[in-house]
Amino acid sequence: MDFKLTEEQELIRENMREFTRKYVDPVAVEIDENSRYPEEVIKKLAEGDWMGMPYPQEYGGAGVEYLTYAIVVEELSRSCAATGFTLSCHTSLASGPIYNYGSEDQKKKYLVPLAKGQKIGAFGVTEPGAGTDVGAATTTAVLDGDTYVLNGTKTFTSNGPVADTFVIFAFTDKSLGPKGLSAFIISKDNPGLKVGQHFYKMGIRASQTSEMILKDCRVPKEDLLGKEGQGMQIAMATFDHGRIGIAAQAVGIAQAAMDESISYAKQRIQFGKPISKNQAIQWMIADMATDISAARFLTYHAAYLKDQGKPFSKEAAMAKVFAAEMANKHASKAVQIHGGNGYCKGFKVERLMRDAKITEIYEGTSEAQRMVIAGNVLR
Amino acid sequence: MPGILCCFKWVVDEAYIRAGTGKELDLDWVDYKISDYDRNAIEEAVRLQEKHGGNVSAITVGKPDDTKGLKDALSRGPEKAYFINDSSFDNLEPSQTAAILAEVIGGSSIDYDLIICGEGSSDLYARQVGPRLAAKLGIPCAAFVQKIEMEQDKIIVERKIEDGVEVLELPLPALVTVLPDINSPRIPGLKDTLSASKKPVIDIGLDELSGSFDPCLRTISISKANMERNGVKLSSEPQDISSLVDALIKQGVIGGVK
């Protein structure tokens, strides 16, 4: 058993850390405050080949292992969880299904510009009445000659307002239940696709989220992703991959919470000494360090299994639920260590506590992760 | 088409040095990095190549397991690296490093017009390797350079000196040591790091060197500096400033008025 990262992985982590110090840290507060999409940062990420990390070079990616991708998402999220998620949503949720289920033509047409970061991707599965219950979706796709006609409304579409390429799910045959769901690739310039309401969120505010409205949206047959009826399988497999990214994002948030806590506790003087000398603070930080290590190993293990071509669905769910819950616990503890300061704008832990919450919700709630884990271990 | 050699040192990243329980430093968990100033040297070499063509090679002296440093350097643009290594090449003094580099560069078929070093290393900061190397190679040297203009067979450099800026013209081949002001080193992208492993590294062992590289100095100890905090808060009000001055005099930090 080897716990050592390769020299390349260590260098990639260090380079991403340097990238965040130079380009992300300086804007992280402002983009959170204004819910602003950091287009200039995303362009810089594209220039550095960070937008298509796990996909082969022939499709515009860098061809690195998923483990390396998880390390980068963690490091980017340590600086700004919203930017980390913009990248992971684009990479895992939008580009992932095209790479895994797309035809050669679809990969050349859609994946290459996504992996190069020339275009931004989004993934539309959630609907007002279909969250965890994906099968409750009502969006329909009716074949009319050589085109499918899609009608319905998707909600909470991450990257929706800024994306160029969407992977969107609709029922081609509702009577078949989950087996009637299909996936489609749709470009933003399709006149039948419109950005609806923007959502202004509690956390990851710089990540752009909106409704996507499909009204008589005509999609050519060649843009059906996979086969008719394969949508549920594509959605679930995509979430398996995406969960590794969210687990990594949660580890990055928690690491940042610990970094801030250590720095603050060493400087904050109360009763004539730094509060880091108090056992109460030491124990909180000890628990943070322990849980972050545990979550990081779970996350890296899930990525490792994927890289080995082994089943990783259960491990990805374990990593996601554990990392998300520990990030919430410790972001809250970090605010506690900062006291009143931590509750105010201007201290990073305030943003971290807001950002952490979403990791328990999207790409499968903590409850959904437990369903996946239980389904695997109770077989 | 100039041939540019950039020298770099793989050093302890000071951010990871911790205080030991006694006076010693805890180096058990340190990580390493390319010396900060040497990043500027590599960057300047690559920028000159981008402008004038030619080739850039990196060269370093270190231990055989310092391979991560080679990948790091190569990910920043040089096409190949010379890796002069031996397990005894640990904590070398500037005189030793310069002598080893001089033997390899001067006595081999390495073709160069310009050698670029950082102004000093970010661990010892002795600022000696560049000038010593130039002296041993018998080539002109300009230290503390903040700008390089390259022409056919010469360079024009700006040196930052105490009272201003000195402009010098040096015939090639020459050596310069560069200041951090000269450029802002690029951050290697993902593909830069991945392609670094595929670039050629010329391995040169101690058995290929004929000189003796004895140290001139003996390190007796390296110990931590203590920084005590008193936790006293003072404002900019006159009475607080007086209190601060009194406290500093009392502690012997500054001398009293006689």
Instruction: Tell me the per-residue pLDDT of A242-293, one tens digit each, with 9 for 90 and over.
Output: 999 999 999 999 999 999 999 999 999 999 999 999 999 999 999 999 999 9
Residues A124, A166: contact at Cβ < 8 Å?
A: yes
- Position of tokens 């000890």? A286
More confident of the two residues B43 and B256? B43
Inter-chain contact A7–B68, Cβ cutoff 8 Å?
yes
The interface pTM score, or ipTM, of the predicted complex is 0.90
Inter-chain contact B188–A15, Cβ cutoff 8 Å?
yes
Residues A253, A100: contact at Cβ < 8 Å?
A: no
Residues A85, A252: contact at Cβ < 8 Å?
A: no
What band does B203 get if pLDDT is binned at 50, 70 and 90?
A: very high
> Amino acid identity of B246?
D
Chain B CB contacts of A47 below 8 Å: 189
| Range with the poorest average pLDDT among A242-251, B186-195, B210-219 | B210-219
Say how many CB pairs under 8 Å bridge A and B.
52
Question: Does A204 score more than 90 pLDDT?
Answer: yes
How many of the other CB atoms lie within 10 Å of CB of B187?
21
* Three-class secondary structure of residue A207 per DSSP: coil
Q: What is the mean pLDDT of residues A157-174?
A: 97
Inter-chain contact A12–B68, Cβ cutoff 8 Å?
no
- DSSP states of B165-208: EEEEEEESSEEEEE-GGG--PPPP-HHHHHHHTTS-EEEEEGGG
What band does A227 get if pLDDT is binned at 50, 70 and 90?
A: very high
Q: Does domain B3-208 have CATH number 3.40.50.620?
A: yes
| pLDDT tens digits, one per residue of A154-165 | 999 999 999 999
Chain B CB contacts of A272 below 8 Å: 231
Facing A273 at nearest CB: one of B72, B193, B231: B231
Chain A CB contacts of B75 below 8 Å: 11, 15
Inter-chain contact A15–B229, Cβ cutoff 8 Å?
no
> What is the phi/psi pair of residue A245, to 5°?
-65, -40
Chain A CB contacts of B194 below 8 Å: 8, 62-64
Alpha-carbon gap: A314 to the closest alpha carbon of chain B (Å):
29
Sorted by where each begins, the domain ranges of chain A are 7-115, 121-229, 233-377
Which contiguous run of DSSP H or E holds residue A214? strand A209-220
DSSP state of A316: H
Residue B257: the pLDDT is 64
Question: Does A307 score more than 90 pLDDT?
Answer: yes
What band does A15 get if pLDDT is binned at 50, 70 and 90?
A: very high
Q: Closest-CA residue in chain A for B229?
A: A273
Q: Is A10 on the interface with B (CB under 8 A)?
A: yes
CATH no., domain A121-229: 2.40.110.10
* Three-class secondary structure of residue B135 per DSSP: helix
Q: Is A58 on the interface with B (CB under 8 A)?
A: no
Question: Does A1 score more than 90 pLDDT?
Answer: no
- Position of tokens 């050699």? B5
Alpha-carbon gap: B72 to the closest alpha carbon of chain A (Å):
7
| pLDDT tens digits, one per residue of B145-155 | 999 999 989 99
- Position of tokens 């951090």? B180
- DSSP states of A161-183: GG-SEEEEEEES-GGGGGGGEEE
- The chain-wide mean pLDDT, for chain A, equals 97
Which residues of A are designated catalytic?
363
Which ranges in chain A belong to alpha helices (H)? Answer: 7-19, 25-34, 39-47, 66-79, 81-88, 96-101, 104-106, 112-115, 231-267, 279-307, 313-342, 348-357, 366-377
Q: How far is CA B38 from the centre of its chain?
A: 4
What band does B258 get if pLDDT is binned at 50, 70 and 90?
A: low
> Quick one: tokens of A16?
């991403």
CATH superfamily for A7-115 is Acyl-CoA dehydrogenase/oxidase, N-terminal domain (1.10.540.10)
Say which CATH topology domain A233-377 has.
Butyryl-CoA Dehydrogenase, subunit A; domain 3 (1.20.140)
